Amino acid sequence: MTSGEGPRDELGGGRTPDPADPADPADPPDPDRDRKKARRTAASVGAAVAAGAAIVRRVSRARGPVREAADPPDDQETAATPPYLGSGDVEVLTGPSPVPERRAAGWITVALAAAVVAGIAVLIVYALGGQPQIEGVLLAILLLGIGFAFIFWGKFLFAPEIVTEPRGEHRSSPAAVAGAEEAMAEDAEGITRRRFLVRMMVTAFGALGLAAIFPIRSLGPSPGNSLFRTPWRRGSLVVDETGSAVTVNTLPVGGVLTVFPAGHVGANDAQAILVRVIDAALQLPAGRDAWAPLGNVCYSKLCTHAGCPVGLYLAGAAQLQCPCHYSAFDVLRGAVPVFGPATTPLPQLPLYVDSSGYLRARGDFTAPVGPGFWNRNKGPSGSGAST
């Protein structure tokens, strides 16, 4: 654990004895053997260098390749041995810290001192009422100080070490597998023979599962016909966001206004957008001619794509645009989609003018409002399939 001012002498000497590769007594002593080991070690240092251990690289630059302590070989580059360890070999490469211990300790002291000062400062700032920017910076100094102290400590006050060792098998030995199977099979007859009971048990678990599903039903009401209707009724007074009634002349030509039925201001599915256009320019679908008195045409404000409010109006093109995904609808032609991902026109709200000049609805929208769902065109009876 020491790391000196100078390099350690036992460089590379950490290679542990190799029990898995004993010298075969039948073989004569191999004079190449030591050289072989050294070669392996040296090669691994090369790899260690590449693995990012700048420390070792520094050592190997300064002192040449790391060498076996006992018997430094002379010609490593020509050693004709594979550069990797034998199966089961363990290798430990170690070297000195690249930074003198005293200097590293100095850095750590500075980092920790900064942390302590910042910690005290953050308390003072807090006591004085707090200030987000200063608190953030002081917290950062506190945490970074501790962080760098740890990193310096780890990198420079411990001897760098690169260990290579066998991974071991992922799977168990065949004997262990057989043993587990045997243990499992013990008294298995007590299960396999009881077919009826097993089936009953499965059924009981099925019943438990069903019973567990039912509480989910409590999470929300049935969709019923709530997706098919809004608070708009025949005779509903058209009001703006503040609740004031809207007359046929509230809007100038080219103007837009978000409107609700009186008594339901802010209701999500009732939101509608009233647009005033030149009466003669309207080309509404057949049967809707009387629905836009004096060019006051009104559509659901919920985009038929993903349900965002259709909040942009391009007066020049007479298009309503949704700022979420930029579907565009042609106000003059019944709000058919003319661009973007929406496929369905905005439902229209049929209007009439009452005797006092106020705008009122003739009834609900022409279609369910908002984005599509599977039985939108079939009506709420279709939802019976999923009840």
Q: Taking CB under 8 A as the criterion, which residues in 222-251 touch another protein?
A: 222-223, 226-227, 241
* Mask for 293-332, x = binds another protein (CB under 8 A): --------x---xxxxx-xx---------xxxxxxx----
Is position 120 an interface residue for another protein (rule: CB under 8 A)?
A: no
Query: Cα–Cα distance between 257 and 272 in angstroms, integer?
Result: 8
* Number of residues forming the site for another protein (CB under 8 A): 115
Q: Which two tokens mark 39? A: 């070669």
Is position 333 an interface residue for another protein (rule: CB under 8 A)?
A: no
**Shortest CB 301 distance to another protein, Å:** 6
Between the two ends of the chain, the Cα-to-Cα distance in Å is 71
**Strands of the 256-261 sheet, one edge to the other:** 238-239, 256-261, 272-276, 296-300
Nearer to another protein, 344 or 366 (CB): 344
Query: Cα–Cα distance between 26 and 34 in angstroms, integer?
Result: 18
Buried (b) or exposed (e) across 26-36, using 16+ Cβ within 10 A?
eeeeeeeeebb
**Shortest CB 176 distance to another protein, Å:** 15
User: Which of the ranges 38-46, 191-199, 203-211, 246-254 carries the binding residues for another protein, by CB under 8 A?
Assistant: 38-46
**Shortest CB 196 distance to another protein, Å:** 36
**Shortest CB 177 distance to another protein, Å:** 15
Is position 204 an interface residue for another protein (rule: CB under 8 A)?
A: no
**Shortest CB 293 distance to another protein, Å:** 23
Ramachandran area for residue 22 (φ above 0: left; ψ -120 to 50: alpha; else beta): beta
Q: Are 95 and 159 in contact, with CB atoms under 8 Å apart?
A: yes
**Shortest CB 131 distance to another protein, Å:** 9
Q: Which two tokens mark 103? A: 């200097």
**Shortest CB 146 distance to another protein, Å:** 5
Is position 210 an interface residue for another protein (rule: CB under 8 A)?
A: no
Amino acid 132 reads P
Is position 154 an interface residue for another protein (rule: CB under 8 A)?
A: yes
User: Which of the ranges 180-188, 262-270, 279-287, 357-365 carries the binding residues for another protein, by CB under 8 A?
Assistant: 262-270
Q: Which of 271, 296, 348, 366 binds another protein (CB under 8 A)?
A: 271
Query: Cα–Cα distance between 272 and 359 in angstroms, integer?
Result: 13
Is position 140 an interface residue for another protein (rule: CB under 8 A)?
A: yes
* Mask for 73-92, x = binds another protein (CB under 8 A): ----xx-xxxxxxxxxx---
Nearer to another protein, 366 or 375 (CB): 375
Is position 212 an interface residue for another protein (rule: CB under 8 A)?
A: no
Q: Taking Cα atoms as reference points, which of 247, 253, 243, 230 lies closest to residue 347?
A: 230
**Shortest CB 102 distance to another protein, Å:** 18
**Shortest CB 46 distance to another protein, Å:** 4
Q: Are 272 and 259 in contact, with CB atoms under 8 Å apart?
A: yes
Q: Taking Cα atoms as reference points, which of 233, 234, 250 lies closest to residue 242?
A: 250
Query: In angstroms, what CA-CA distances link 149 with 64, 108, 152, 269, 294?
Result: 31, 5, 5, 59, 77
Q: Are 158 and 3 in contact, with CB atoms under 8 Å apart?
A: yes
Tell me which residues in 158-187 interact with another protein (CB under 8 A).
Answer: 158, 160-167, 169-170
Is position 220 an interface residue for another protein (rule: CB under 8 A)?
A: yes
DSSP 277: -
